[in-house]
A and B are shown apart, each in its own frame.
Chain A
């Protein structure tokens, strides 16, 4: 038998599997360099305060929700509720624990949000889909109500708002736009890195198994309930930190109303439009949701400012934005990140078809 076997070509003999050594990701390094060095040097207050910081925070919130909804398949409309927990918990820690450094307060706020998320994730053991969504809706309203009702949470301020305490890190003030931007960026980069590795790990694979079919996942021995609760906890941790950054690095103030159901929907839209089950999708989605209206506004002002009735112009922008969402979702239901991927594949062979 062996004598008759045709010899394989040498290369196949040597390497039955093509192993590609991973190169140092040059593009990523460049991106980080731009984000950490170039933007703080070049960006003015408008870019940092009004565009980059909210974009980064919303990306982080999208990432948090994507871990739960995109990777584990548990739909949630309570994202903003957990953001509120993070914001109010961080505020409480900074206010009431003397001498606590900012990073520790942020982590503490995240952990408190994670604990609450796990608590509200318990029903996921028994209920699924739309019914689970209703429990997260309950969480959203419950949390919002708690932070409006009990003045202890906002330190008895007459207006029910919390405002950023001194933002300091090792004695350096982070109150300037550049400081707040770097704080946000560091948090986002660190947490994105963790998330990328998390979804590649055993935990992430278990989550995806549960998302794809939880019965099958249980059959192959994955403790489904535990991993669902873990997903709720990790997701809420991310959302909690995003909430704290939203309140202190971006707005500078927050009340229960800053984290209402509309914020939850906004974050849900970010992951739906950006791409479920994708890390990069959160950034693309957040860019679309937060930056597109600003772009349209500038474009409208530049083209028609002063000529067309201001109210009509605003409504026109809304219509255009809505239309764009519909067009993109029809064109690519898997989100913008898929659209970008397709475009990249096309460009690789352009102008040929294959």
Chain B
């Protein structure tokens, strides 16, 4: 009797499940004539709230390319997600799952979307000949493409970020010569990420004669009274805030409590989103931040996406208020670089899906000038970017935006980093890496 009942229930449940499953529309399958675009996402875990708008931006842009422009020169994009939870292990799992493409559609470029995964995949991707794009994170020394052929820390490394920060401060102070004797403090998250700007700032302090003060904040940084008491005692002219996650709003609030003017704090890339300042409320008014992908929905591309994707109800965005947020825009910029790299590669290899090696050729010949940026609708949102074998970073500029309590307002044009000054540091690091790993540097002059 009971057995019968259980059996019956199970059978009903199975039938229901099967019925439900067959009623669902089946996802489109990839084909060898399409370009596979793997999406290593993090929708769960500690950083999910920043990730979700990024994927929305990426997917909306890919959808726009597919549906409005008919793909990249006719080659349609197909994408699939894989959850990394921002960890190295899951990041490796996703990469290994995706590296051979999807049902014949090859991978041209891979975005690990997370520092731990980016570091773990460095060697593996080089062995598999798949280029990694790490925008705003990853190995700084990978700028030297002769030692890191498949690593692209495109647009803005942490070294350039530090230099752009100093150049902006100089602009505000009235020239680089005015930096002498100024006190510039860096309040940083005490981690690999936070310490990354120490070397460039040391070099720039020697060059320009400002006092370089480094104040660490231990992870997670939800109590910073002692750090800001120290700031108040030292009275620096400017504070470079290199925190992330919860430590950013706490820093802004604590600074306000100790009476340090918020409009003299400049946040870095990872302290420059809406989510970073909103919790600080009124106290965040006037806060400055550097960013390679400014917030705002008034760029040309936003109007196109709004018309064709958002208003058609095809957007991946859950919360329409996030349209044009810093993270959403970072998704757009990330996707655009990959799409443009494939387009550049197609010029040499023909209008077909590209593999990793061809994708790298495309990246190394990527040249997005203002005219091209205007064409694709990214003028103002994205800086001119020219990559080469010798230079995997390109750009090296950031805009400064200011929070007015409701939204970010851009207060500068692109502030360029002094990349020539920093390049010897990068070359020394990459040479050291080459020696440690026994990497034979390629000859960029010959390859070009």
Residues of A within 8 A of B (CB): 45-46, 49-51, 54, 95, 148, 155, 157-161, 163-166, 175, 250-253, 255, 257-258, 294, 297, 301, 303-307, 310-311, 314-315, 317-318
How many residue pairs link A and B with beta carbons under 8 A? The number is 105
Q: Is the pair A158, B123 in contact by a Cβ cutoff of 8 Å?
A: no
Q: Is the pair A251, B120 in contact by a Cβ cutoff of 8 Å?
A: yes
Q: A49-B124, A50-B92, A158-B140 are in contact. Are A166 and B190 (CB under 8 A)?
A: no
29 pairs from A and B in contact (CB 8 Å cutoff):
A45-B99, A45-B128, A49-B96, A54-B89, A95-B436, A158-B141, A158-B195, A159-B115, A159-B140, A159-B192, A160-B191, A161-B192, A163-B119, A163-B122, A164-B123, A165-B437, A175-B123, A251-B88, A251-B92, A252-B120, A253-B119, A253-B123, A257-B192, A258-B116, A301-B80, A305-B80, A310-B43, A311-B44, A311-B52
Interface SS majority for chain B: helix
> Is B186 located at the chain interface by the 8 A CB criterion?
no
Q: Mark out the residues of chain B between 42 and 73 whose CB falls within 8 Å of any chain A CB in the assembled complex.
A: 43-44, 48, 52, 55
Alpha-carbon separation in the docked complex, A304 to B89 (Å): 24
Q: Mark B134-156, 1 if CB is under 8 A from A, else 0.
A: 00000111000000000000000
Minimal beta-carbon separation of B314 from chain A (angstroms): 14
Give chain A residues whose Cβ lies under 8 Å from the Cβ of B199: 158
Give chain A residues whose Cβ lies under 8 Å from the Cβ of B195: 158, 160
Give chain A residues whose Cβ lies under 8 Å from the Cβ of B88: 251, 253, 258
Q: How many residues of B contact A (CB 8 A)?
A: 46
Give chain B residues whose Cβ lies under 8 Å from the Cβ of A165: 436-437
Residues of B within 8 A of A (CB): 21, 24-28, 41, 43-44, 48, 52, 55, 80-83, 88-89, 92-93, 96-97, 99, 115-116, 119-120, 122-124, 127-128, 139-141, 190-193, 195-196, 199, 429, 436-438
Give chain A residues whose Cβ lies under 8 Å from the Cβ of B193: 159
Alpha-carbon separation in the docked complex, A58 to B128 (Å): 25
Question: Residue on B with the closest CB to A151?
Answer: B195
Q: Is the pair B96, A306 in contact by a Cβ cutoff of 8 Å?
A: no
Q: Is the pair B437, A166 in contact by a Cβ cutoff of 8 Å?
A: yes
Q: Of A46, A166, A311, which contacts B438 at CB under 8 A? A: A166
The 4 closest A-B pairs by CB, nearest first: A306-B27, A160-B192, A311-B43, A50-B96
Alpha-carbon separation in the docked complex, A175 to B438 (Å): 13
Alpha-carbon separation in the docked complex, A6 to B437 (Å): 81
Q: A305-B80, A314-B44 are in contact. Are A50 and B97 (CB under 8 A)?
A: yes
Give chain A residues whose Cβ lies under 8 Å from the Cβ of B192: 148, 159-161, 255, 257
Alpha-carbon separation in the docked complex, A240 to B141 (Å): 30
Alpha-carbon separation in the docked complex, A158 to B197 (Å): 8
